[in-house]
Amino acid sequence: MSSDNLSTKNRILQAALDLLETSHGKGVRMSDIAKRAGISRQAVYLHYENRAALLIAATKYLDDLKDSNARLLASRTASTGMQRLDAYIEAWGEYIPEIYGVAKALMAMSDTDEAAYAAWDDRMQAMREGCAAAIEALHRDNMLSPTFSSEHATDILWTQLSVRNWEQLTQQCGWTQAQYIAAQKKLAHTCFVKA
Amino acid sequence: MSSDNLSTKNRILQAALDLLETSHGKGVRMSDIAKRAGISRQAVYLHYENRAALLIAATKYLDDLKDSNARLLASRTASTGMQRLDAYIEAWGEYIPEIYGVAKALMAMSDTDEAAYAAWDDRMQAMREGCAAAIEALHRDNMLSPTFSSEHATDILWTQLSVRNWEQLTQQCGWTQAQYIAAQKKLAHTCFVKA
DNA sequence: CTGTCAATTGACACGATGTCAAGTAAATTG
DNA sequence: CAATTTACTTGACATCGTGTCAATTGACAG
């Protein structure tokens, strides 16, 4: 409860985030995190039950640091549906590289750890809400293309904006971040905006 | 070299495939595979160097079983670019659920095992060739929309048809296989075919 | 001075992969 | 038929990472 306690807890989270960012989420062990936080491996467990809990806490900590909610909600203030769609694609798209390391680690853990899966799924459902809101805004403007239902359009946009897709396009295909954002906007217009 | 040897090797692969299919690639241990193949855990290593090698062999074995190459190449015989695009989306789309289990396991291993990564990457590059060929066919028919370059269109189609996206749309969004195929075709038409 | 709290150290269990040596049983070969 | 080879078995053991436990230390607070 003391501020020392808080400080150690945060030092652990910061250590985890540093390591996950530089290693792209791969091969970061509890002992590595402890070493970087300047404490013993066992002491980490005084603050976090297990690896999954630590990773989950790290993503929440990162959200606060980067003020992600504010950034994503900002897109909701756009006046037209199209502006709103663009703003959301940009806000989320610029956010992905900042969470990529932790996200990768959390996704990898999701395969084996129930809690990690739930935590990641929760975030992705929140992200889906943003997609649904953007599609809904288009619909209200009577600008939603009849090609797909609102429901299907949301599913497609949600999938299109996944972290895995960002990874593939930027890491494997060699797109720059700017190309990624521009292409996703163009793609969404082509698919969802009435001609 | 004897047919007994071959038979055991194949029994191991078949056991692995059976288990991976029913468990969706999660939590299949060497001992599980051995048990199902009816041999001791250690004996598996007489046939396959390690888990990664076994998984890689299993995907190749599955390809042969399902005659995947023939099915994917068949799309190349379509006369128009659009037919070719549709045929490829359908052939690959129908193939995904058949390899899903092994694919999931191989993708999970790719995080830690270099050889597994190389094997999976190799398959994905081959899949990308198919996408590139379909886009190229559209281009030759002068039916490729000017929205994206051939290169970018290939990247987008390749990403759109990823196993992860299939997984998200069918498992998380609850799409049926038929809905998935239909939507992917519609999506590709909207994005890549000249209006 | 005494208790509490954060952290340390060393030891250890577990699960999974992978290795090694010795042994067996059946088929193959001289 | 006897010797050898082949495929496999068994049991033991190393390694790595996670997670736990008990005993100890050092600081700080009442």
Cα three-residue angle A100-B130-B153, rounded to 5 degrees: 55
Residue B42 CA to C23 C1' — how many Å?
Answer: 15
Query: ∠A48-A52-A55 over CA atoms, to 5°?
Result: 80
| B164 with A160: Cβ contact below 8 A | no
Tokens, residue B112? 């830690």
Are the C-beta atoms of residues A135 and A153 closer than 8 Å to each other? yes
pLDDT band at A5 (very low <50, low <70, confident <90, very high): low
- pLDDT bin (cut points 50, 70, 90) of residue B195 is confident
Count other C-beta atoms under 10 Å from residue B77's C-beta.
9
- Mean pLDDT, all residues of chain B: 95
- Is A18:A27 a contact under the CB 8 Å cutoff? no
| Residues, CB < 7 Å to strand C | A 1-2, 4-5, 8, 38-40, 42-43, 46-47; B 27, 29-31, 42, 45, 49-52
pLDDT in tens, A25-45: 999 999 999 999 999 999 999
From the CA of B50 to the C1' of C21: give the distance in Å.
Answer: 20
Q: Is B13 exposed, middle or buried (0-12, 13-18, 19+ CB in 10 A)?
A: buried
Q: How far is CA A74 from the centre of its chain?
A: 16
The separation, in Å, between residue B4 CA and nucleotide C27 C1' comes to 11
Task: Please tell me whether any atom of strand D lies within 7 Å of the Cβ of A140.
Answer: no
**pLDDT tens-digit readout, B159-190:** 999 999 999 999 999 999 999 999 999 999 99
Residue type, B29: R
Report d(CA A99, CA B56) in Å as an integer.
31
- Predicted confidence at residue B1, as pLDDT, reads 36
The pLDDT of residue A6 is 65
- Residues B134/B81, Cβ–Cβ less than 8 Å: yes
Chain A nearest-CA distance from B177, in A, is: 14
Q: Which two tokens stand for residue B102?
A: 């092994």
Choose the mutation target among A144, A164, A191 for the interface with B, i.e. most B CBs under 10 Å. Answer: A164
Tell me, yes or no, if B173 comes closer than 8 A to chain A by beta carbon.
Answer: yes
**Which residues between 84 and 143 in chain B have a beta carbon less than 8 angstroms from any beta carbon of chain A?**
108, 111-112
* Residue A181 burial (C-beta neighbours within 10 Å; 0-12, 13-18, 19+): middle
Lowest-confidence range among A49-53, A173-177, B20-24, B63-67?
B63-67
| Domain annotation for chain B: domains and CATH numbers | 3-63 (1.10.10), 67-192 (1.10.357)
